[in-house]
Amino acid sequence: MELYDKQIASQVASQLLKIEAIRLQPEKPFTWASGWKSPIYCDNRLSLSYPKVRNFIKESLTEAIKANFPKVEAIAGVATAGIPQGALIADEMELPFLYVRSKPKGHGMENMIEGKVTPGQKVVVVEDLVSTGGSSLKAVQDLKHAGFEVLGMVAIFTYGFDIAAQNFEEAGVKLICLSDYAAMLPQALEKNYIDDFALTSLVEWRENPAAWRGVE
């Protein structure tokens, strides 16, 4: 799990903060589906509504793919947020596009993968956000079971959890991200989205998210 470029990481973080795709509330934490209390909520789908941000992300992900996976033959998005990003990249690169559902469609062909399945085709997976990596790696396994050769994955943002790095390493999947939590914090402080007190709490959350309960 690595960043594509440190300068781009800062730029992407700054843009996501500006459009409120990343929201920081250490004093009023969000509750994740896992039950974790979190000072951050990241919804990169908002970037689609801002053409300049959308295009910068598309171009950066495209360059990351070209640099790290030059033999790519198709792009696969992870449902649902990875679908529009993947489609934009596939169009930019003039490559076939497909996407992976979280579960088979409940009617018709009951597909897990939508698009032309070509066994042996070299594919790069596109994700918008990586937390623990569970759903992202499930999509990778589904593609492999269908006969694709998965070269790796690109994502817009990751929280940088150790468990995610471990999961991707154990699965043998290379993950390239545009930005991450560590790159975002200095941007948030510099642009006054948070103060020094909030920064301390945000760092504590990153070190032990399961035990973090918010600002006392």
Of all residues in the chain, what percent carry a pLDDT higher than 90? 87
Q: Is 48 annotated as a binding residue?
A: no
Radius of gyration of the chain (CA): 17
Q: Is 129 annotated as a binding residue?
A: yes
> What pLDDT was estimated at residue 34?
77
Q: Is 101 annotated as a binding residue?
A: yes
> What pLDDT was estimated at residue 111?
77
DSSP letter string over 126-170? EEEEESSSHHHHHHHHHHHHTT-EEEEEEEEEE---HHHHHHHHH
Q: Is 145 annotated as a binding residue?
A: no
How confident is the model over 68-95, as a mean pLDDT? Answer: 97
Q: Is 45 annotated as a binding residue?
A: no
How confident is the model over 146-153, as a mean pLDDT? Answer: 97
What's the rounded Cα separation, in Å, for the pair 207 and 123?
34
> What pLDDT was estimated at residue 2?
94
Digit-coded pLDDT (tens) for 86-98:
999 999 999 999 9
> What pLDDT was estimated at residue 148?
97
Q: Is 133 annotated as a binding residue?
A: yes
Beta bridge partners of 112: none
What's the rounded Cα separation, in Å, for the pair 6 and 72?
24
Whether 170 shows a pLDDT value over 60: the answer reads yes
At residue 216 the predicted structure's pLDDT band, cuts being 50, 70 and 90, is low
> What pLDDT was estimated at residue 110?
56
> What pLDDT was estimated at residue 5?
97
Q: Is 215 annotated as a binding residue?
A: no
Digit-coded pLDDT (tens) for 115-133:
999 999 999 999 999 999 9
Whether 136 shows a pLDDT value over 60: the answer reads yes
Q: Is 196 annotated as a binding residue?
A: no
Q: Is 172 annotated as a binding residue?
A: no
The mean pLDDT of the chain is 93
